[in-house]
């Protein structure tokens, strides 16, 4: 290449490089300014002048809870920053621990087994809550707030057709079916459930089942729902009891008639320092937590998963209904 050509080529490459870098920023939208709310029953001065960063995990229920939190705290006068939709439980917890977020909601069961590293579950809701609250405060300086009475625990589910055809509505029915039709007792699980002591192994023991490994397919959480719906690979699938896709896909969660699965309550969590400086954060969220029972949470989840509404709108409507905001 002649020198002139080389200069031209370099300049061209530089321009293209800069343009590409500049254009790369074009895809990112500004986060919606939906947290301008007027307080209803929430005290509008409780958190005046305080900046609170709210995190959440990445699935529907958590996104809705995240928005509820943002709007409640905003109504209480806080300047809120939306850092919801963090990928994964570990990352969400780490965000709180490192101070990237000030508050996020987690489940007592997850706290006990995943974060605090215990292997044996505690079956009683209140006992579990207190054990987690105490230990996380002592060991890690994290404060668990008031829990919501909703129960988002595991359940095995089948499609409506399968349930009608084989008259299966409880997990004991499932055990009977599996004993009578071992080839058709195919199950889709995701790996966390398959590994936890309060999961698959314990469940089989409690109901006297022993389904061979060959009948089990391990997939990602969301894929369980779609595979169950398709009905080819598995007739039974592990689901979360408040998940909106249960309603959307017309699935039937089997009743846990032997009460094996513990009740996992969800609570807002902050660090000790945050709680000492601004105890109002947990105080403002407590009345919200108290209203979230299983039915309510499932209904809100269904609005997102089944009807496709945005979580900001779902949150706003709900809070207005409850009188927390105008």
Partner 1 sequence: MVDPSITPPTETTRPGRTAAVSPERPRLFTWRDFVIPLVVAAAVGAEVYYLNTADLSKIVEAQMTFDRIMDSTVEHIQLALAVTGLVLAIAIPLGVAVTRVRWLEPVALLVANTGQAVPSIGLVAIVALLWDIGFWPVVVALTLFAVLPVLRNTIVGLDQIDLGIKDAARGMGMSPSGVLFRVELPLAVPVIAAGARTALVLAVATIPIGYFVGAGGLGDQLMQGIKLSRNQQMFAAALFVACLALILDWLGGVVERLLTPAGIR
HEC-encoded secondary structure of 210-253: CCCHHHEEECCHHHHHHHHHHCCCCCEEEEECCCHHHHHCCEEE
Task: Tell me how far, at minimum, the Cβ of 226 lies from partner 1, in Å.
Answer: 9
The angle subtended at Cα 14 by Cα 8 and Cα 19, nearest 5°, is 125
Phi-psi region of 286 (alpha: psi -120 to 50; beta: other; left: phi over 0): alpha
Residue 105 or residue 200: which is nearer to partner 1 going by CB? 200
Tokens 């496709």: give the residue: 308
Encoding tokens for residue 26? Answer: 């074009």
Task: Tell me how far, at minimum, the Cβ of 216 lies from partner 1, in Å.
Answer: 10
Task: Tell me how far, at minimum, the Cβ of 196 lies from partner 1, in Å.
Answer: 7
C-alpha distances (whole Å) from 325 to each of 32, 73, 74, 310 are 19, 10, 10, 18
Q: Under the criterion CB under 8 A, does residue 113 sit at the interface with partner 1?
A: yes
Residue 89 or residue 305: which is nearer to partner 1 going by CB? 89
Q: Under the criterion CB under 8 A, does residue 115 sit at the interface with partner 1?
A: yes
Per-residue binding letters, 59-88, with partner 1 (x by CB under 8 A) = -----------------------------x
Q: Which of 117, 167, 212, 308 binds partner 1 (CB under 8 A)?
A: 117
Q: Under the criterion CB under 8 A, does residue 89 sit at the interface with partner 1?
A: yes
Task: Tell me how far, at minimum, the Cβ of 225 lies from partner 1, in Å.
Answer: 13
Query: What DSSP letter does each residue of 1-43 carry, written as one string?
Result: --HHHHHHHHHHHHHHHHHHHHHHGGGPPPPP------BSSS-
- Candidates 105, 80, 65; CA nearest to 314 is 65
The span of 79-87, 117-125, 153-161, 290-298 binding partner 1 (CB under 8 A) equals 117-125
Q: Which of 30, 32, 36, 119 binds partner 1 (CB under 8 A)?
A: 119
Residue 40 or residue 202: which is nearer to partner 1 going by CB? 202
Antiparallel, parallel or unpaired: β 266-271 and 104-107: antiparallel
Q: How far apart are CA 283 and CA 269, in angstroms?
A: 12
Q: Under the criterion CB under 8 A, does residue 90 sit at the interface with partner 1?
A: yes
What residues from 215 to 254 belong to the interface with partner 1 (CB under 8 A)? 217-220, 223, 227, 233
Q: How far apart are CA 253 and CA 171, in angstroms?
A: 9
Q: Under the criterion CB under 8 A, does residue 197 sit at the interface with partner 1?
A: yes
188: Cα separation from own chain's centroid? 20
Task: Tell me how far, at minimum, the Cβ of 22 lies from partner 1, in Å.
Answer: 21
Task: Give the residues lining the site for partner 1 (CB under 8 A).
Answer: 88-90, 113-115, 117, 119-120, 188, 191-192, 194-197, 201, 217-220, 223, 227, 233
């Amino acid at each position: 290449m002649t020198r002139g050509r080389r200069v031209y080529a370099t300049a061209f490459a530089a321009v293209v490089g800069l343009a590409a870098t500049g254009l790369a920023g074009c895809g990112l939208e500004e986060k919606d300014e939906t947290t301008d709310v007027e307080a209803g029953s929430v005290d509008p001065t409780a958190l005046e002048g305080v900046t609170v960063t709210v995190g959440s995990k990445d699935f529907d229920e958590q996104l809705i809870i995240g928005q509820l939190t943002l709007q409640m705290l905003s109504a209480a006068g806080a300047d809120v920053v939306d850092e919801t939709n963090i990928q994964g439980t570990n990352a969400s917890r780490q965000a709180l621990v490192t101070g990237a977020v000030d508050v996020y909601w987690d489940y007592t069961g997850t706290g006990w087994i995943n974060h605090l590293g215990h292997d044996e579950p505690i079956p009683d809701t209140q006992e579990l809550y207190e054990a987690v609250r105490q230990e996380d405060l002592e060991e890690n300086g994290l404060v668990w707030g008031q829990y919501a009475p909703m129960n988002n625990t595991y359940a095995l589910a089948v499609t409506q057709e399968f349930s009608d055809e084989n008259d299966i509505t409880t997990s004991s029915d499932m055990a009977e079916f599996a004993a009578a039709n071992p080839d058709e007792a195919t199950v889709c699980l995701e790996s966390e459930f398959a590994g936890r002591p309060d999961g698959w192994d314990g469940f089989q023991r409690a109901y006297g089942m022993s389904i061979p490994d060959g009948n089990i397919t391990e997939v990602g959480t969301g894929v369980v729902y779609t595979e169950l719906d398709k009905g080819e690979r598995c007739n039974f699938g592990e689901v979360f009891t408040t998940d909106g896709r249960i309603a959307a896909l017309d699935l039937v969660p089997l009743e846990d008639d032997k009460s094996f699965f513990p009740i996992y309550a969800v609570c807002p969590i902050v660090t000790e320092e945050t709680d000492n400086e601004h105890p109002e954060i947990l105080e403002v969220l407590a009345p919200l937590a108290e209203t979230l029972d299983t039915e309510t949470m499932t209904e809100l989840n269904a609005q997102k998963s089944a009807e496709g509404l945005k979580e900001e709108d779902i949150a706003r409507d709900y809070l207005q209904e409850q009188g927390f905001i105008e």
